[in-house]
Amino acid sequence: MATTPQTAFEPEVKPASKLQETARRHLWMHFTRMGAYDDEHEIPILVKGDGCYVWDENGNRYLDGLSALFCVNAGHGRAELGEAAARQAKELGFYTNWSYAHPMAINLAERIAKLAPGDLNRVFFTSGGSEAVESAWKLARAYHKVNGDPLRTKIIARETAYHGTTLGALSITGIPPLRTTFEPLVPGACHVANTNSYRWPEDRDPLWAADQIEHRIEFEGPETVAAVILEPVQNSGGCFTPQEGYFQRVREICDKYGVLLISDEVICAWGRLGYYFGAERYGYQPDMITTAKGITSAYAPMGAVIASDRLAEPFMAGTSMFTHGITFGGHPVAAAVAMANLDVFEREDLCGHVRAKEDEFRSMLDGLYEDLPIVGDVRGAGFFHSLELVKNKETKETFSDEESERLLRGFMSGELFKRGLICRADDRGDPVIQLSPPLIADTEQFEEIEAVLRAVLTEAWERIVRHADGERASPRRSP
């Protein structure tokens, strides 16, 4: 009889308290104030997931209103994704895409090319989103160099936008507090205004932000600019949607100056906005799409750059090549999971579900805006929305840094979690609550989100705004 092979390291099954202690001693959590965890503030340790819900080590259930980190799009507990991974691991656990190919990466590349808009037919796999962004910037530079435009190295992104943390991607990221510690960054990344019209003067031209890109290209010198990189809906700052015609204008500008347009869809692809790709929703044609997260519904790490035929062409003939690679790019197990994930998308029409239900999701949030003085704005698209929190709805006055710290980390993050809702209270721009539930969420989950948010936002207004009640800061702060 075959026996199950034992791993060399058998982790002991730990009681909850021991797990806490071990996590505090050995685990280095990302974007987390580790020192803030103590006997009163436990690390949230999640042990199980099913549909829109996850459970912690103490058996408490939470509605995952953030799809973990904008990524468990098909929802938790999908055994078939694990089974696809196991089948592939048995067949061929790993082979690289450096000079070799394997069926799963080939078939997945073809499937993605069929779904992607226009002639985005060439897929370069990575292990995640930051690597996809790095790879896209390098591809833009390599493309211009091979075309006799070696000075085109710069990239234009937007203020407050998050594009990742590796040094190239971080240079593109437009969030000063994330950048300053690591300066000097990679030269050549610059930033323009985003589409946050909530804080614009009322008489501003709706395409003002798009025109800022043209001004910046002119300022830098068009012959030095390789690419513009934009999210269809900008996550950081709180779901900034594009103005009508914004992307069409950006496309025109890029074409006028020979600059490539990269659509960073690490979050906005795979149904998040009700379409496979955000570019499809807003009707524009990028030269590259960068993606990750929902491509596997996060059951395995994977990212990709999806490039146009025009962009790939110089690297496809003779002795030329794109001199760039990542060991795990196109990992067969991750590719198998992505294929199974897309089967779920097709079978359950997850994009169609988001389109059918987004108005209901939105009107629940609009109701909070109408009823609660602390909600200054609601914005977003699909299953990707934010509420901006303000001190004064009429004047749009925002909170000071100290107030925001008390409001978000001192009260809301902990309170939302305590009441069973995972979402993000964030202040990389002005303070917002961000929601991005699994794409299977429905009326029942919207009602649950509404009930928790209404109670917590009402209490926040009372405690923080009226009484300036100071509480101990919560340590959780993810990007």
Q: Which stretch binds ligand PLP (CB under 6 A): 161-169, 254-262, 347-355, 374-382?
A: 161-169
Angle at 373 between CA 369 and CA 374, to 5 degrees: 85
Site for ligand PLP, residues 219 to 258, rule: CB under 6 A: 231, 235
Determine the residue with CB nearest ligand PLP. 129
Based on the shown chain and the rule CB under 6 A, indicate whether residue 375 belongs to the binding site for ligand PLP: no
Q: Which run of H or of E encompasses 62?
A: strand 61-64
CB 439 within 8 A of CB 276: no
Q: Does residue 168 belong to the site contacting ligand PLP (CB under 6 A)?
A: no
Q: Which of 130, 196, 404, 436 binds ligand PLP (CB under 6 A)?
A: 130
Tokens (6 digits) for 397: 């006055």
Question: What's the burial of 24, exposed, middle or buried (CB within 10 Å: 0-12/13-18/19+)?
Answer: middle
Residue 134 interacting with ligand PLP (CB under 6 A): no
Among 117, 129, 376, 438, indicate the residue that binds ligand PLP (CB under 6 A): 129
How far, in whole angstroms, is CA 80 from its chain's centroid?
24
Which CB sits closer to ligand PLP, 71 or 375? 71
Which CB sits closer to ligand PLP, 129 or 376? 129
Nearest distance from C-beta of residue 404 to ligand PLP, angstroms: 21
Greatest alpha-carbon pair distance for the chain in Å reads 77
Which span sits near ligand PLP by CB under 6 A: 108-116, 261-269, 325-333, 443-451? 261-269
Shortest reach from residue 67's CB to ligand PLP, in Å: 12
Kindly tell me which of 96 and 166 has the beta carbon lying closer to ligand PLP.
166
Q: Is the peptide bond before 184 cis (omega within 30 degrees of 0)?
A: yes
232 or 376: CB nearest ligand PLP: 232
- Contact region with ligand PLP (CB under 6 A), list: 156-164, 253-261, 419-427, 454-462: 156-164
> What CA–CA distance (Å, rounded) separates 185 from 196?
26
**Amino acid (1-letter code) at residue 103:** P
Candidates 144-152, 159-167, 208-216, 442-450: pick the segment binding ligand PLP (CB under 6 A).
159-167
CB of 169 to ligand PLP, least distance (A): 6
- Side-chain-side CA neighbours of 308 within 13 Å: the count stands at 15
Closest CB to ligand PLP among residues 31, 98: 31
Among 162, 247, 282, 328, binds ligand PLP (CB under 6 A): 162
Q: Is 128 a binder of ligand PLP (CB under 6 A)?
A: yes
Gap between the Cα atoms of 209 and 192, Å rounded = 8
User: Which residue, 164 or 410, has its beta carbon nearer to ligand PLP?
Assistant: 164
> Which one of 49, 117, 164, 238 is in contact with ligand PLP (CB under 6 A)?
164
Q: What is residue 322's three-state secondary structure?
A: coil
3 state DSSP class of 307? strand
**Angle at the Cα of 210 (from 209 to 215), degrees rounded to 5?**
90
Phi, psi of 265 (to 5 degrees): -115, 40
Q: Are 265 and 290 in contact (CB under 8 A)?
A: yes
> On the CB side of 393, how many CA atoms lie within 13 Å of its CA?
13
| Contact range with ligand PLP by CB under 6 A, out of 43-51, 117-125, 162-170, 209-217 | 162-170
What kind and span of H or E run contains 154? strand 154-158
Q: Which is nearer to ligand PLP, 165 or 458 (CB)?
A: 165
By DSSP bridging, strand 260-265 and strand 225-230 are parallel
Is 129 or 410 the residue whose CB approaches ligand PLP more closely? Answer: 129
Contact set with ligand PLP (CB under 6 A)? 128-130, 133, 162-164, 231, 235, 264, 266-267, 292
